[in-house]
Structure 1
Amino acid sequence: MAYDAVILAGGAARRLGGVDKPGLSVGGRSLLEIVAAAVPDAGRLIVVGPERRVPRALYVLEEPRGGGPVPALRAGLAEVRAPWVALLAGDMPLLRPAHVAALQSAASGELAASGESAASGGLAASGRGPASGAVLVDDGGREQWLAGVWRADVLREALRGYEGRSLRGLLGPLAPVRAALPGRPWFDCDTMDDLEEAHMNVLSEWTALVCAELGIDPARVDRDLILDLTKEVAHGVARPAAPLTAYLLGLAQGAGTAPEDAVARLTALAGSWNEAGGEKLTGE
């Protein structure tokens, strides 16, 4: 499928204190960079919003500025040249290329998400022709209008003469395929709690990757317990002591010399470090 991508990356982010939300970092990349990485084969990468450091992006601004998603879509669509367009929000840290590919398949008629397949998070063969588009639905079955793939000509026709401000009012009547996909690709960051959840997801992905690389069963890793330990050591002793302590604990576990309550004992040592002046660890 030949397609361009339009990423809406403006907005005031009022619930985040007015910060540059698409520019916030998760796992070493900005939210906008993560979304852009989900459309690596897009012919054109069109970002509606202020310029940021994203390779190959074409930046445009809506009129009027701050007018909402409909004017932003209109501005981005004016730069689309491909027959299909991925319409995405600039703050979805869990979106991956596989999700966009599944939306493309659903929209093109190769696959469709409906009924039991959608409820189970999967896609089923439909055998019908291309639809107007396909959108992600969240765990509650609600359409996420800034997470979809559309026929560009259908969007242009829908925008012609549309005077409303709602994306739902614009896109809902087009009856897109509804796609429920695993991995919560629709998840966006509207609050600080959302941002913290995105950071924790990165931590989960990294933990799984490291376990696979080292041949460790992830079920044996109590991530939260280790994080609590390193936090206590960082605050009670010194920040560099936190990763060192985790490494030493790993060595002891691997050698079979760590006591069953090793984490609890190390946490207690860190908590009493300042009170004891280091005597418990140095023996002085």
Structure 2
Amino acid sequence: MDLPPGTTGFCAVVLAGGTAVRLGGADKASVEYAGRTLLEHALDALVDASEVVVVGDPVPTTRPVTFTRESPRFGGPVAALLTGRDALLRAPRTVGVLAVDMPRVTALTFRRLHEAAEGHDGAFLTGADGRRQLAGVLRADRLDEVRPDHESQHGMAFHRLLAGLDLATIAPEGDEGVDVDTWADLRDLASDR
């Protein structure tokens, strides 16, 4: 399918601005796993994206990205995703979303998500329990159509934003669907390597 002029295929938003209460308020983007920050792992997973926006405080990266923050801060994943969407300089066909605390998600994961999304509004990775994780791709036009007003975004549950969309899911391969919410999670993930 030909893309409209000025449109790129795939851009992505990394959600890195949460409070990380169960990590003692640590900046998840800067937390290290396997010798690299969680943000660097996320950027590796998004290597196919022509542009990446990180919604969180700026930290050093090896890849050029745009940093931004939702307003007001700590507005939750919906506010963060839509803030990141607004910060994209390019007009994408698909928007990827990835929580910074999922270091086992890879570029292959996102290729599988794109394949699963064909004929749908998007696709998301599930965890071992079958619930959708914050790792997925959405058609940009459909995301824009279901976008709530600014006041409603703050604190909105992510499943409410996606409720009107036709989404496929893919099961995780190995630990792809694991996220790091506590220091114990990080320790367990590191011991499984």
Q: Is structure 2 residue 56 aligned with structure 1 residue 67?
A: no
Cα shift readout 1:62-121 (whole Å, capped 9, x = no counterpart): 01111111211111011332110111101111111111110011112xxxxxxxxxxxxx
CA distance in 1, matches of 2:42, 2:163: 23
Same amino acid, percent of matched pairs? 38
CA distance in 1, matches of 2:96, 2:73: 22
Map residues 115-264 of structure 1 onto 2, 5 A cutoff.
130-144=119-133, 146-161=134-149, 163=152, 165-201=156-192, 204=193
Shift of 1:169: 0.7
CA distance in 2, matches of 1:154, 1:79: 17
TM-score, normalised via structure 2 length: 0.88
Higher relative contact order (CA 8 A, sep 6+): 2
Segments of 5+ residues of structure 1 without an aligned counterpart are 109-129, 205-284
User: Between Structure 1 and Structure 2, how many residues are aligned?
Assistant: 180
For the residue of structure 2 that corresponds to 1:183, the secondary structure is coil
Cα shift readout 1:188-223 (whole Å, capped 9, x = no counterpart): 10011101022123xx3xxxxxxxxxxxxxxxxxxx
CA distance in 1, matches of 2:79, 2:130: 26
Instruction: Quote the residue 2:116 is aligned against.
Output: 106
CA distance in 1, matches of 2:143, 2:117: 13
Shift of 1:184: 2.5
Shift of 1:172: 2.8
- The question of whether the paired residues in 1 share the 8 Å contact of 2:128 and 2:172 is answered with no
Q: Which has the higher helix share?
A: 1
User: Aligned AA for 1:27?
Assistant: A
Cα shift readout 1:35-55 (whole Å, capped 9, x = no counterpart): 110111211011001101122
Shift of 1:181: 2.9
CA RMSD after TM alignment: 1.5
Q: Is structure 2 residue 32 aligned with structure 1 residue 2?
A: no
CA distance in 1, matches of 2:103, 2:139: 25
Segments of 5+ residues of structure 2 without an aligned counterpart are 1-7
CA distance in 2, matches of 1:21, 1:138: 19
For the residue of structure 1 that corresponds to 2:17, the secondary structure is coil
Which portions of structure 1, spanning 4 or more consecutive aligned residues, are displaced by more than 4 angstroms? none
Instruction: Quote the residue 2:4 is aligned against.
Output: none
CA distance in 2, matches of 1:39, 1:197: 24
Match for residue 26 of structure 1 among 25, 33, 52: 33
Q: Is structure 2 residue 85 aligned with structure 1 residue 77?
A: yes
- The question of whether the paired residues in 1 share the 8 Å contact of 2:29 and 2:59 is answered with no
Instruction: Quote the residue 2:3 is aligned against.
Output: none
CA distance in 2, matches of 1:140, 1:173: 22
Instruction: Quote the residue 1:116 is aligned against.
Output: none
Q: Is structure 2 residue 100 aligned with structure 1 residue 86?
A: no
CA distance in 1, matches of 2:164, 2:170: 16
Task: Flag the structure with larger Rg.
Answer: 1
User: Aligned AA for 2:96?
Assistant: A
Instruction: Quote the residue 2:107 is aligned against.
Output: 97
